[in-house]
Amino acid sequence: MLHSDFESGGLSMKYLCLVYGEERKIGEMDDHKCLACDAELRAGGQCIASEALEPVATATTVRVRNGRVSVTDGPFAETKEQLAGFYLIEARDLNEAIQIAARIPPAAVGCVEVRPIRPIREQPRTGRSHD
């Protein structure tokens, strides 16, 4: 029998929580706080994946138009384009990441921003000390 999602015990939803902030202020924070939050949420079964990103200067934007891949420096620029989804991928280097990004269907109508993941677990920053 079908049951309403509003009933308790109904299917849970998944949400993507996007973190925004001025890079300087975010950079001054202690990564261990974020890692503790992550551990707590995971223990409660509430976190599926979490990662930190390298600064926006490392971003590359991939578009496919008329079958041709175009690669440009920086994050997507057009204000009409809204965040619509994400793929967390594994690639050998940026060239492979670009090839994969170009295969993501919306790259043909919008764009895919490729941004490296920062190794927050392997190299956590303690805050303020870094530049």
Partner 1 sequence: MPAADLKQRIEGVYQSESRAVLATLIRLLGDFDRAEEALHEAFRAALEKWPAQGVPENPRAWLVSAGRFRSIDQLRRQARFDSFDPLTHDTAADETSPVDEADPGVADDRLRLIFTCCHPALAPDAQIALTLREVCGLTTEQIAQAFLTPVPTLAQRIVRAKAKIRDARIPYEVPAPADLAGRLESVLKVIYLVFNEGYTASSGAELMRLDLASEAIRLGRLLVEMLPQTEAIGLLALMLLHDSRRAARASAAGELIVLEDQDRSLWSRAQIEEGCALVARALATRSPGPYTLQAALGAAHCRAPSAADTDWNEIVRLYDLLLRIEPTPIVALNRAVAVAMRDGPAAGLSLVDELLAAGGLTGYRLAHAARADLCRRLGRNAQAREAYSQALALTHSQPERRFLERRLAQLAES
Q: Of 93, 128, 130, 131, which lies in the binding site for partner 1, with binding defined by CB under 8 A? A: 93
Is 36 in contact with 30 (CB distance < 8 Å)? Answer: no
- Identify which range of 16-24, 25-33, 68-76, 79-87 contacts partner 1 by CB under 8 A: 68-76
Partners of 63 in the β-ladder? 70
- Identify which range of 7-15, 33-41, 78-86, 93-101 contacts partner 1 by CB under 8 A: 93-101
Residue 98 contacts by C-beta under 8 Å, 6 or more apart in sequence? 60, 62, 69, 71, 114
54 binds partner 1 (CB under 8 A): yes
Q: Which residue spans within 16-111 are E strands per DSSP? A: 52-53, 60-65, 68-73
Instruction: For partner 1, give the closer residue by CB, 5 or 54.
Output: 54
Site for partner 1 in 101-120 (CB under 8 A): 114, 116
Instruction: For partner 1, give the closer residue by CB, 116 or 124.
Output: 116
Distance of CA 68 to the CA centre of its chain: 25
Residue type, 101: A
| Binding interface with partner 1 (CB under 8 A) | 54-55, 57-60, 68-74, 92-95, 98-99, 114, 116
